Each structure stands twice: as structure tokens, then as C-alpha cells.
Amino acid sequence: MTTVKAFPSEQPKVVRDPDQCMLWGAYVCAVRNALGMSQGDLAAILGVTRTTLTRLEQGVPPLKMALCRTALEVFKEAGVSSSAMVDAALIGAGLPVRLDISFEIHHLRKMRSQTARASTAADRAAMLLGEDFTPPLEQAPLRKR
């Protein structure tokens, strides 16, 4: 499994390449579906609106790199990894030849078996990511409020 290194500060803040945006969208959508989450649930976990998540999943340029990195960090906490997407986040340009996604099976089982019991997105986030999880974009929002 690849370890996420600190992201370089000189990296672009926005992804404008349509192919790279499509890649990020495919990754986020595939992981969300595999975890059995709704867009509203994942949006709440990421600390963004459902509309923002929909634009990300559709790969509509431009995408904020901070949101892409946040999704990577949240998925890593949930036991999901992708060396191709980590590289895309670190490098910020170029496309991998294939999209690899690795799931830790106990996280998938836990999520699938307990989804019905959790009534809110916060409950599902706590179940999957731990009680003290705070969405990264709530700590450092993309926009000033």
C-alpha cells in the first residue's frame, strides 16, 4: 500500500485538464458506490455540498485540488487506496495508464452491514472513520465563510 506523502505547496490549486478531472470523478464515484454511500452522505463527510460532489464525480473542470486531496485522505481512513490517484495528487499533471483501487475488506463488510443501522451521514462517517473524525474541509474550508 502506498503511503500518502505531504503534498507539495507548489502544486496547482485547480485541475483544469478534462481527462484528469474525469479520472478523479471516476475514482470518487467508484469508491462511493463500493462503500454503498449516497452522494449526500459522502458530501457531508467531505464537508461540501452535494452539488459540489456531483460536479467532482462527473469530472466537470475545473476541480479544486484541495477537494481531490480531501477525498483521498477520507478514503484512506476508510481503508481504500489507489497508488495512481496518490501519484496524480502529488504530481498534479499527467494521467496514469490505469486506475487501481484497493479496499480493505473488513472496512467494506463493516460499512455494508451497518449502513441500515446508521440514520444520518454523521452516523455513517463515525461508523466508518471513527467517532472523532472531522471532515478535513470543515477544518480548512475551500471558501471563506
At 41, which CATH number?
Answer: 1.10.260.40
Q: Which of 47-61, 75-89, 111-125 has the lowest mean pLDDT?
A: 111-125
In a domain, 83, yes or no: yes
Q: Does some domain include residue 37?
A: yes
Distance of alpha carbon 88 from the chain centroid: 13
pTM of the model: 0.75
Instruction: Please check whether residue 75 lies inside any domain of the structure.
Output: yes
* Domain housing 109: 14-125
Mean pLDDT of 66-86: 87
4 within some domain: no
Residue with cell 455513517: 124
Does the residue 7 lie in any domain?
A: no
Looking at the 3D structure of the chain, how many domains does it have?
1
